[in-house]
Amino acid sequence: MRALLPAVDAPAGLVLGTAGEPDPRPDQVLVDVRHISLNYGELHFLSRLPAGAVPGWDASGVVVRAAANGQGPAVGTRVLTYGAGFGAWAERRAVSLDELAVVPDSVDLAQAAALPVAGVTALRALRAAGPLLGRRVLVTGASGGVGRFAVQLAARAGAEVVASVGSPERGAGLEALGAGQVVAGLDGITRPVDVVLDAVGGAQLVAAFGLLAPEGVLVSYGCASGEPSVFPPYSTVGPGKSLVSFRIGDRLGADMATLLRLVEERRLTVDTGWRGPWEKAAEAAEALLGRRLLGKAVLDVTAA
Ligand SMILES: NC(=O)c1ccc[n+]([C@@H]2O[C@H](COP(=O)([O-])OP(=O)(O)OC[C@H]3O[C@@H](n4cnc5c(N)ncnc54)[C@H](OP(=O)(O)O)[C@@H]3O)[C@@H](O)[C@H]2O)c1
């Protein structure tokens, strides 16, 4: 089958090649992949992939072989899938039953493909911050894949959202998604915040920690800046502020179903900043890593 594979000398380190067919376990379905989405992490760490592995976490498609254990969706069901063990960027993938969700009829399969890693990270990182009703929540990297979902989910949960982006033009559309204030860097934040959801790391994380109100919590889920965070002496000593490290974890099925329901009910918008065939994957990857993309990149898995 065709698959998008790492290639050191290719543009963006990606080439459309061939890979062996997946061999589903009894608790897995076989899915005909129709759309995939790209994430910063899988692109940034592509060179760390085990030799021969097919990359990719997020894919949507149609079940072509039901699980041999008799459970899960039937052949022909439209599904959204995730796999921490990669395997999404191919014509077919094997998926565990707790890493998939059925896509409602009214939700576009291509839109759905944008949800797994970015949407579930936003959902779970906000949960890790605790109750949000009436809280002031700062979302950094708000222009990105996770950020645009986090702004919306925090606003829906009753928070007052401050969205931080790299430059004013990168803030396009964020007020419509629920941000009460959009700032470049951390400029213009004049009152403390209760929660920070941080994608950027580095010096900005240190400054954002300084903006926390007493008992506030900073959830660190990314480091898109690639910079170290150096805290001045005593800046971490104080009235019960917390810094929580976050990782997405596994068993995304139930949370992906929640996000799909929100999309179905038009309470969650999927912003696709790049859409095209997977033959143009390098173009999409370069736009994402070059910070020229608002929201997600979704690729169509076309037939040869
Ligand atoms: N812990 C987990 O389980 C988990 C899960 C998902 C993602 N992540 C991590 O979370 C981060 C964001 O992921 P994503 O998929 O949302 O990525 P993304 O779509 O590329 O968005 C990242 C955003 O960060 C900002 N950014 C990038 N480089 C920056 C820099 N040098 N300085 C300041 N801001 C910068 C950009 O905003 P501007 O262009 O507006 O500056 C960009 O929109 C990544 O580090 C990723 O690895 C972690």
- Output the tens digit of pLDDT for each of the chain's 304 residues: 999 999 989 999 999 999 999 999 999 999 999 999 999 999 999 988 888 899 999 999 999 999 999 999 999 999 999 997 789 999 999 999 999 999 999 999 999 999 999 999 999 999 999 999 999 999 999 999 999 999 999 999 999 999 999 999 999 999 999 999 999 999 999 999 999 999 999 999 999 999 999 999 999 999 999 999 999 999 999 789 999 999 999 999 999 999 999 999 999 999 999 999 999 999 999 999 999 999 999 999 988 8
Q: Whose CA is nearest to atom 30 of ligand 1?
A: 225
For residue 60, the cross-strand partners are 35, 80
Residue ranges lining ligand 1, Cβ < 6 Å: 39-41, 117-118, 121, 141, 143-147, 165-166, 170, 199-200, 221-225, 246-248, 288, 291
- 134 and 72, same structural domain? no
**Comparing C-alpha atoms, which of 93, 66, 60 is closest to residue 78?**
60
Query: For a pocket test of ligand 1, which of 39, 139, 198 has the largest count of ligand atoms closer than 8 A to its C-beta?
Result: 39
Query: For a pocket test of ligand 1, which of 291, 293, 298 has the largest count of ligand atoms closer than 8 A to its C-beta?
Result: 291
Within a domain: 123: no
- 294 and 240, same structural domain? no
Which helix or strand (DSSP H or E) is residue 66 part of?
none
CA 7 to ligand 1 centroid distance, Å: 23
Q: Which atom of ligand 1 is nearest to the CA of 294?
A: 43
Within a domain: 56: yes
- 162 and 90, same structural domain? no
Query: For a pocket test of ligand 1, which of 40, 186, 271 has the largest count of ligand atoms closer than 8 A to its C-beta?
Result: 40
Structural domain for 151, as ranges: 128-245
Q: Looking at residue 48, what is its pLDDT?
A: 87
Overall size of the chain counted in residues: 304
Q: What are phi and psi of 12, to 5 degrees?
A: 60, 15
Question: How far lies 34's CA from each of 46, 78, 80, 101, in Å?
Answer: 22, 10, 10, 15
Within a domain: 257: no
**42, two tokens:** 């899988």
- Is pTM beyond 0.95? Reply is yes
What is the count of structural domains for the chain? 2
Q: Whose CA is nearest to atom 10 of ligand 1?
A: 222
For residue 34, the domain's CATH number is 3.90.180.10
Q: Which atom of ligand 1 is nearest to the CA of 170?
A: 40
Find out whether 243 and 218 touch, Cβ atoms under 8 Å. Answer: yes
Assign 150 to helix, strand or coil. helix
Find out whether 6 and 49 touch, Cβ atoms under 8 Å. Answer: yes
